[in-house]
Each structure stands twice: as C-alpha cells, then as structure tokens.
Amino acid sequence: MIIAIDGPAGSGKSTIARAVAEKLGFYFLNTGSFYRAYTLSALDRGIDPLDRDRVLDNAEHISITVDDGDICIDGKNEEQRLHTPSVDAYCSQVSSDPRIRELVNKAARKIAENMDIVTEGRDTTTVIFPNADYKFYFDATAEVRAKRRCKDQSTLDFQTVLESIRQRDKMDMEKATGALKIASDAIYIDTSLLTINQVCEKVIQTLKVTL
C-alpha cells in the first residue's frame, strides 16, 4: 500500500508522515530529502548548485540510502544537515532539473515496489506516485510555516525565513516539471491550526473509513 502526502514546505508533511508510518508499521519515505541530499553533497564538494551538469554528475556517483527514514550519503547519516540555510537556498533550483527529478522518482518507486510505505514530498501525489492508494495534500499559511521553521532552528530570523518560504512557494508552483499542485483526488488538510496528533488522527480516520 502507498500513502502519499504532498504540500508546500513547512506544512507538516515530514513530521506527520513519519508519525503515521510509525502508527501503521509502514516504511517512511521522504522524497524531498533526496533533493536536499543532492544539494548538500554538491555544496560539500565545492560544486556550484546552479551548475546543473556538475550537480547531476555528482548525483550519479554518490550513494543515497534511507535508514529508518533518515538520509545517508555514502553511508553517513546526514539527516541533521539537510535543512541548513545553504541547502534551503539552492534545493529548489537543484530539484527543478528534470534529470535530477527522474533520479529521485526511480529511487522512490524502487523502494516502494515491495513494501507498504507512507511517502511525502512535493509532486509525490501527482508525478512520483499518481496511482497511490491514498493521497493527502497538507497546507498552512506562509506565516505559520515560517514560525514552525524558526521554532525548529531558534537562530533564524522570522522575516528572512518568511520571505524565503514565499519565494520557494513561487518557484515550486512555477516549475516546468514537478510543479506544486493539488492532485484532483487528494484529500486537502489545512494544518495551520492543528496539532501533529490532530492531523495524524484525521489521516488515520480517513484510512479507517475507506479501508
């Protein structure tokens, strides 16, 4: 079974998808982390993230694996470094390359071949798993998403994060490939005023009703 969750950055996709996966005993897969891993790897190797050919070449020669939901690059757990400001600044540009997107899509589909998964990421419900058994689209206001990011990283400036999120939303919605949009058959949930547990319950209850 595939449960796919889509939506903009900071809407709660990762936290809630991981929690739902734990409750169901499913495998958790964050497709967006693959793009962040490719971006981080390029930065670590001194590669300009805007140099698409070099980023792609690097992506094709590194090993990205998932260990209990955490991303590992060449065997090293890098989950804690995936949401730094430098990665945030370039991730959208890296993910806009159709060749990089195809690498991620193939990797995600391969993982899902033989197991039940809860997967999340932008375009998960529309491109990567258009035939997912269940689709959800999480949303929240830009202000709420900025507050969440600042709560996670207390050293960040709210206005700077807010502007970054607004720019990221614009770029994601205008992408020629894998643009952010709501699948016609996805269940829409606004998480702005809901707790993690409340959203999890909404998802679980939906599954109980439809199973």
Q: Which residues are annotated as a binding site for ATP?
A: 7-15
Taking residues 16-21, report their average pLDDT: 94
Q: How many CA atoms lie within 13 A of 45 on its CB side?
A: 18
pLDDT digits (tens, 9 = 90+) for 177-207: 777 889 999 999 999 999 999 999 999 999 9
Model pLDDT, residue 37: 96
Model pLDDT, residue 175: 76
**Secondary structure letter of residue 126 according to DSSP:** I
Average predicted confidence (pLDDT) for the chain: 92
Higher-confidence residue of 121 and 6: namely 6
Q: Give the burial class of 83: count Cβ atoms within 10 A of its Cβ; 0-12 exposed, 13-18 middle, 19 or more buried.
A: middle
Q: Which residues are annotated as a binding site?
A: 7-15
Higher-confidence residue of 68 and 60: namely 60
Residue 27's Cα: distance from chain center in Å?
Answer: 15
- pLDDT at 211 exceeding the cut of 70: no
Higher-confidence residue of 82 and 69: namely 82
Model pLDDT, residue 171: 83
Model pLDDT, residue 66: 85
pLDDT digits (tens, 9 = 90+) for 41-50: 999 999 999 9
Model pLDDT, residue 152: 84
pLDDT digits (tens, 9 = 90+) for 108-166: 998 888 889 999 988 899 999 999 999 999 999 999 999 998 998 888 899 999 999 99
CA distance 94 to 56: 9
- Could you tell me the pTM of the whole model? 0.80
- pLDDT at 4 exceeding the cut of 70: yes
CA atoms 158, 164, 169, 172: torsion sign: negative
Q: Determine the longest span between alpha carbons in the chain, in angstroms.
A: 50
Whether the CB-CB separation of 193 and 123 falls below 8 Å is answered with no
